[in-house]
Each structure stands twice: as structure tokens, then as C-alpha cells.
A and B are shown apart, each in its own frame.
Chain A
Amino acid sequence: DQQVKQNSPSLSVQEGRISILNCDYTNSMFDYFLWYKKYPAEGPTFLISISSIKDKNEDGRFTVFLNKSAKHLSLHIVPSQPGDSAVYFCAAIAMWGYGGSQGNLIFGKGTKLSVKP
């Protein structure tokens, strides 16, 4: 049973436009939601996160929105650049115990973003 779902395996966007990556989750006990970017042959790189008590967090071109009632979050990248082409992972963590599993950091399957010049 997937607790964190990224239903779009891939996304293609034109340079300069907005990229929107989506993520759904099932566990209401998650405290933080994180986004990672991954290039081939490298480890994932932390991008941005949001606490479950907030609905928006912004860092430069990256903004994450959280809709707790829908158990849905999204990452907006604007403007998109060719260097943003990578696989993006959504992750969630429950810090204070979900069935005893404190600190369990769970990932979605990823969305491959391609930004075309």
C-alpha cells in the first residue's frame, strides 16, 4: 500500500513556463513533506519542504503547496529551466510516531521532468 503517490511518471514543459509536480498521500500523521531532485548516477538532493501546519512554502523559483483536506501537495517551478530536468521525488515523514515508526521517511516513485529549450 503506497502511502506517498506520484501518479505522473513524466512531465514535459517548455523553458520559461511553469512546471507543476503533484503528490498525494494517505497518512494524516505525516509532519513534514519534502521534495528531492535527482540526476542520474547521483544521490537525491533536498530541494524544499513544508510543515504539515503550513499550506505554502516558497524558496526562489520553487514553491510547495499543501492541501491537507485533499491529502495533496504540489511543487511549482517557475520559470522552468533546462537544468531543472531531473527526476523529482516527493517524500513524507512522521516524526513522532505512526504506529511506532517515528522518523520513517517514505518516498513516492518519482516524476521525470523534462524542460525543453
Chain B
Amino acid sequence: DAGITQSPRHKVTETGTPVTLRCHQTENHRYMYWYRQDPGHGLRLIHYSYGVKDTDKGEVSDGYSVSRSKTEDFLLTLESATSSQTSVYFCAATGTSGGEGFFGPGTRLTVL
């Protein structure tokens, strides 16, 4: 897993509340990603970062924002959680070679 951790691992929250998920890596990888995994959809990219303070939108970015103030941390924020954001969220990181990438263990988020 190349030292990628996610917190929290599980969270239950209510509709309308803000939620922040944290991804932390120890390998100094340049690129970091947030995905969500839902049945029938595989892994869909939410946002990604190609450097400190450099981020871009992915396929399903609506309702999410990210921040990367340090190389090792990539935060995903649900500004006002909705039930459609109930999912398993994975963080990933890759180096500049692009030849391999590593995932965190996932965060299971339930929005009631």
C-alpha cells in the first residue's frame, strides 16, 4: 500500500452535514486521487492533485471539494452530504513515472 492511510475508515452522518475525509501518504508521491466505488460503476474519479495546491476535477466532482496544502495530505470535503454520496471512497497516489499506483484501504461513508 506504499504507506497510504485514510481516516476515518467508517463514518455515518446525516444529510446536509459537511464531511471531510483525509488521505495521508508517506512516500512523497506527486499525484494523489480520490475515487468512489459504487456497484456497476467501478472506480470513478472525483478529484485529483498533481502537486501541492494543484488540483483538478474528475468525472464526478459535483458536491465535492479537495485541498492539498502539503505533499503528504489530500483532503476530500463533502460540503453538504446527500444520500447519493453514500459510497466507499478510496484515495490513491502515484509517482511521476506513472508506472504504478497505490491505494489506501478505503472509507465507508453512509449518509442517512
**Chain A residues whose CB sits within 8 angstroms of the CB of B58 once the complex forms:** 104
Q: Which residue of the partner chain, among A31, A36, A43, contacts B104 with CB atoms under 8 Å?
A: A43
Q: Residues of A within 8 Å of B, CB-based: how many?
A: 28
- Is the beta-carbon distance between B104 and A93 smaller than 8 angstroms? no
| A59-117 CB contacts (< 8 Å) to partner B | 89, 91, 93, 95, 100-110
Pairwise interchain contact B98-A95, C-beta atoms closer than 8 A: yes
Q: What's the Cα separation between A15 and B97 when bound, in Å?
A: 35
Question: Does A21 reach chain B (CB closer than 8 Å)?
Answer: no
Which residue of B4, B35, B42, B90 is within 8 Å of A108 (Cβ)? B42
Which chain A residues border B92 with CB–CB below 8 Å? 44, 105
User: What is the CA–CA distance of A44 and B4 in the complex, to the nearest angstrom?
Assistant: 12
Q: Which residues of B contact A (CB under 8 A)?
A: 1, 4, 30-31, 33, 35, 40-45, 48, 50, 56, 58-59, 90, 92, 94, 96-106
Q: Is A89 in contact with B43, judged by CB distance below 8 angstroms?
A: yes
The answer to whether B103 and A45 touch across the interface, beta carbons within 8 angstroms, is: yes
A51 and B42: CB pair below 8 A?
no
Asked whether, in the complex, the Cβ of A107 is within 8 Å of the Cβ of B1, the reply is no
Indicate if the CB atoms of A105 and B100 lie closer than 8 Å: no
A41 to B44, CA, bound (A): 17
Contact indicator A95/B96 (Cβ below 8 Å) = yes
Q: Given A42-B105, A109-B42, A110-B42, are A103 and B31 neighbors across the interface (CB < 8 Å)?
A: yes
With A105-B31, A106-B45, A110-B42 known as contacts, the answer to whether A32 contacts B98 (CB < 8 A) is: yes
- Complex alpha-carbon distance, A93 and B104, angstroms: 18
Q: Are B98 and A31 in contact (CB under 8 A)?
A: yes
How far apart are A89's CB and chain B's nearest CB, in angstroms? 6
Given contacts A89-B43, A110-B42, contact A105 B102 (CB under 8 A): no
Distance, CA A99 to CA B31, complexed state (A): 17
Residues of B within 8 A of A31 (CB): 98
Which of chain A's residues has its CB closest to B88's CB?
Answer: A41
Which of B30, B40, B96, B100 neighbours the largest number of chain A CB atoms within 10 Å of its CB? B100
Question: B101 touching A43 by the CB < 8 A rule?
Answer: no
How far is B103's CA from A83's CA once the two chains are assembled, in angstroms? 20
